[in-house]
């Protein structure tokens, strides 16, 4: 063995690499060198003669990770890595099915459907079965089919509790039959077909179990139930499964990931070796101490504590802004100071829980002339649902806008097919008119669309700009369309984000009117166009990174801003409705904190624009789970209660509200308060005066309540 393979490894990393041929779980904390350990383990097994390069299987979650692993192996050992079984679940299953296409009942040249091709195939099935696409939205059916397959279910295995589900199951069955006739498979089918093949073909299963004595898996915490079943099938009873993962960074439950697979691995494979990689090579000590304190509040952890040989570094900076706009301005000012200190923009990341939050940040960055790129997503005004909404507004403002009409004439679906649109275009060309004029002369479903647009124009003619947008969203069908998509488990998270973005468009209009004193729709549409296309930095430019916390996993930066730390936003309000939801939100916060190497900012706002109206929130419970000695408050002042730091309202906006019993004064809207029975809350409305008045409070756990000022017994926070 090449002794240099083990040089530079810390004791825990070395122990993981040289484990005997047995199943093991490597708990690899953030920044602990897990990729190095996994790759060195492969090189160690090969160099010591325990396995040949083609006698092991290594599974990653991305092609990028697989390529990086192969590149590192090539640098470690003088071996030919071509042909090694290193890849993603889908890639490896495709390879196995190609090699055994007859046994899998597939043609040798079977084709793989991408998402768009799969949707087209489903539409053909529905058309052949005379299924109404208004009642059964094709994309919902697609999500139903893919979601079922990812759970390892064929059509006949899906329980249909009602006629609606039964009809989708019938479409599912016919879709599978059509794919079989045509010799094609979708992505979900790759894994399920491979699992079915190995399950029923004992000789083939035993062949691969004999071949792959060592199976190594990266990011094990992200495996779904079917992926784990596939791994168990290949490993059998005698092979070694070397799993590397971090239960504290399991943040993809919405994709089907099951963090419980780690506990099942310990039981199913009788794992004796659990090695914890806790030394972090990324962040300063205070950042890690905060992350450890936060995640210790989660239940059912396998448990570890990150540490570093570096010093403690700076305290974590916390800023409470009066509004979300002020929050964005503060962030811009800090970034400009960081630039003056010599920090490159590309070393700075702005993280948010929800995509809709990017709009205010983008606006502030554009106004300040700071280059940025949205990582793993689109800028606000380029998002699909926003472009749909803007197209409605453009056509309401100018019926000659053919591009706008083409975008929305059949979105949401209203039964106007491709042929109907072609006829409109032919009519417009023959008569030398716009598409709108051609549509106005048409009948049927096109005339219904024309009537809708005329109604929208008439109803909004005298409304203020934000109300124009609100009315359009409610009556165009856009809101209803995405609300219906929420009914699909596979689409729920995406639909919720699209709805949040549409509501944020109303906020954008409200801010535009405030900043420009211009209430015209034309001016706002011009503003949207100018902000949509020219500020995204190129790949080689020095630019800030904007992204959701989900997109930030696996990345690291000199400085990180975690924004919007308010209850209902981060942790997200939906976490209350899902078992284990708050734990996953906390893991998401843990991921956000551990992206920072040197400096970490955490910001929140007293008030935020939601659906065009000011909403008052409470500071995130996650912020209060961090040790006070690690925090540097940049807000004007804060008060203490029960050993926790509670930021007081900014001095320049609110004076501390006197207790009504003492001064007979009203509590102020936005004031944070504490009630012995209901807990923490925020004042949202007041009526009357003195002890005869009452106050409306939105409590964190108890919801909204009106309380008498005479008997409320409230404390100011």
Active-site position among 35, 50, 81, 315: 35
| Catalytic (active site) residue 640 | no
| Catalytic (active site) residue 12 | no
CA–chain centroid gap for 31, Å, is: 21
Tokens of 555: 């990345």
DSSP state of 371: -
Query: What is the C-alpha to C-alpha distance for residues 717 and 714, in angstroms, rounded to an integer?
Result: 10
**Burial status of residue 116 (CB atoms within 10 A of its CB: 0-12, 13-18, 19 or more):** exposed
Find the DSSP H helices in 341-434: 358-368, 384-397, 402-408, 418-431
Query: What is the C-alpha to C-alpha distance for residues 274 and 291, in angstroms, rounded to an integer?
Result: 21
| Catalytic (active site) residue 218 | yes
Active-site position among 218, 326, 583, 585: 218
Tokens of 301: 């952890």
| Catalytic (active site) residue 174 | no
Tokens of 15: 């122990």
| Catalytic (active site) residue 168 | no
Tokens of 47: 């160099």
Q: In this structure, which long-range contacts are made by residues 302-306, counting pairs with CB atoms below 8 Å and at least 24 apart in sequence?
A: 302/25, 302/27, 302/247, 302/262, 302/263, 302/274, 304/27, 304/29, 304/248, 304/276, 304/278, 305/278, 306/29, 306/30, 306/31, 306/32, 306/278, 306/279, 306/280, 306/594
Phi, psi of 206 (to 5 degrees): -65, -35
3-state secondary structure of 479: helix
CA dist list (Å): 613 to 28, 181, 352, 645: 44, 55, 21, 28
Tokens of 257: 């990931």
The dihedral built from the CA positions of residue 203, 208, 213 and 217, taken in this order, carries a sign that is negative
Max alpha carbon distance in the chain (Å)? 85
Query: What is the C-alpha to C-alpha distance for residues 511 and 523, in angstroms, rounded to an integer?
Result: 13
Query: Under 8 Å CB-to-CB from 287, ≥6 apart: which residues?
Result: 313, 316, 593, 594, 596, 597, 600
Considering only CA atoms, which of 645, 648, 640, 618 is closest in space to residue 630?
645
Phi, psi of 284 (to 5 degrees): -70, 165
> Which residues are 28's β-sheet partners?
277
Query: What is the C-alpha to C-alpha distance for residues 358 and 348, in angstroms, rounded to an integer?
Result: 15
HEC assignment per residue over 277-311: ECECCCCCHHHHHHHHHHHCCCCCCCCCCCECCCC
Quick one: angle between helices 418-431 and 444-460, nearest 10? 80
Considering only CA atoms, which of 151, 189, 146 is closest in space to residue 171?
146
Q: How many CB atoms lie within 10 A of CB 233?
A: 16
Tokens of 182: 């045509």
Q: What region does 77 belong to: left with phi over 0, alpha with psi -120 to 50, or beta? A: beta
Active-site position among 60, 209, 223, 249: 249
Active-site position among 12, 150, 174, 219: 219
What is the total residue count of the chain?
717
| Catalytic (active site) residue 34 | yes
Residues known to be catalytic: 34-35, 218-219, 249, 595
């Amino acid at each position: 063995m090449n002794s240099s393979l083990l040089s530079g490894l810390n004791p825990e990393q070395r122990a993981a690499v040289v484990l005997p041929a047995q199943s093991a779980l490597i708990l690899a904390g953030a920044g602990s060198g897990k990729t190095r350990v996994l790759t060195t383990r492969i090189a160690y097994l090969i160099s010591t003669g325990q396995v040949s390069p083609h006698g092991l299987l290594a599974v990653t979650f991305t092609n990028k990770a697989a390529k990086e692993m192969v590149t590192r192996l090539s640098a470690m050992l003088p071996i030919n890595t071509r042909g090694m079984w290193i890849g993603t679940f889908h890639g490896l299953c495709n390879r196995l099915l190609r090699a055994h296409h007859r046994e899998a009942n597939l043609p040798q040249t079977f084709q793989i459907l991408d998402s768009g091709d799969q949707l087209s195939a489903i539409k053909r099935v529905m058309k052949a079965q005379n299924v109404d696409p208004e009642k059964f939205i094709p994309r919902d059916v697609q999500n139903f089919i893919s979601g079922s397959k990812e759970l390892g279910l064929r059509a006949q295995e899906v329980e249909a509790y009602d006629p609606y589900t039964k009809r989708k199951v019938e479409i599912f069955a016919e879709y599978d039959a059509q794919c079989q006739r045509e010799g094609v498979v979708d992505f979900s089918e790759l894994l399920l077909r491979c699992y079915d093949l190995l399950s029923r073909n004992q000789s083939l299963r035993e062949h691969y179990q004999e071949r792959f004595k060592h199976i190594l898996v990266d990011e094990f915490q992200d495996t779904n139930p079917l992926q784990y079943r596939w791994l168990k099938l290949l490993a059998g009873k005698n092979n070694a499964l070397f799993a590397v993962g971090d239960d504290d960074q399991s943040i993809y439950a919405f994709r089907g990931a099951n963090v419980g697979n780690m506990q099942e691995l310990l039981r199913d494979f009788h794992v004796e070796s659990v090695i914890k990689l806790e030394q972090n090579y990324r962040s300063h000590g205070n950042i890690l101490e905060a992350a450890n304190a936060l995640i210790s509040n989660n239940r059912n952890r396998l448990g570890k504590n990150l540490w570093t040989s570096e010093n403690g570094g700076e305290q974590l900076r916390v800023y409470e802004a009066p509004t979300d706009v002020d929050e964005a301005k503060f962030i811009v000012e800090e970034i400009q100071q960081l630039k003056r200190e010599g920090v490159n923009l590309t070393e700075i990341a702005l993280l948010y829980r929800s995509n809709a939050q990017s709009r205010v940040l983008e606006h502030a960055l554009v106004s300040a002339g700071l280059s940025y790129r949205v990582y793993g997503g689109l800028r606000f005004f380029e998002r699909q649902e926003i472009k749909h909404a803007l197209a409605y507004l453009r056509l309401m403002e100018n019926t000659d806008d053919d591009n706008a009409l083409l975008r929305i004439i059949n979105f949401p679906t209203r039964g106007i097919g491709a042929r109907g649109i072609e006829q409109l275009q032919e009519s417009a060309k023959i008569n030398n008119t716009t598409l709108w004029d051609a549509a106005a002369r048409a009948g049927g479903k096109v005339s219904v669309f024309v009537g809708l647009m005329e109604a929208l124009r008439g109803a909004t003619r005298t409304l203020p700009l934000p109300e124009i947008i609100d009315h359009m969203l409610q009556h165009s069908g856009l809101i209803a369309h995405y609300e219906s998509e929420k009914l699909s488990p596979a689409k729920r998270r995406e639909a919720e984000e699209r709805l949040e973005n549409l509501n944020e468009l109303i906020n954008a209009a409200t801010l535009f009117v405030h900043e420009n004193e211009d209430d015209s729709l034309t001016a706002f549409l011009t503003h949207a166009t100018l902000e949509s296309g020219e500020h995204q930095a190129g790949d080689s430019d020095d630019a800030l990174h904007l992204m959701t916390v989900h997109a930030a996993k696996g990345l690291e930066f000199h400085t990180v801003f975690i924004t919007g730390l308010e209850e209902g936003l981060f942790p997200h309000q939906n976490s209350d409705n899902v078992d284990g939801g708050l734990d996953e939100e906390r893991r998401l916060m843990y991921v956000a904190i551990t992206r920072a190497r040197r400096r970490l900012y955490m910001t929140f706002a007293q008030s935020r624009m939601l659906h065009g109206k000011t909403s008052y929130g409470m500071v995130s419970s996650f912020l209060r789970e961090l040790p006070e000695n690690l925090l540097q408050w940049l807000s004007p002042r804060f008060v203490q209660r029960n050993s926790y730091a509670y930021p007081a309202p900014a001095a320049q906006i609110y004076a501390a509200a006197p207790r009504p019993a003492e001064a007979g004064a009203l509590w102020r809207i936005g004031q944070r308060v504490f009630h012995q029975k209901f807990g923490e809350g925020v004042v949202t409305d007041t009526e009357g005066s003195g002890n005869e008045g009452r106050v409306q409070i939105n409590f964190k756990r108890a919801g909204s309540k009106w309380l008498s000022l005479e008997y409320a017994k409230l404390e100011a926070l």
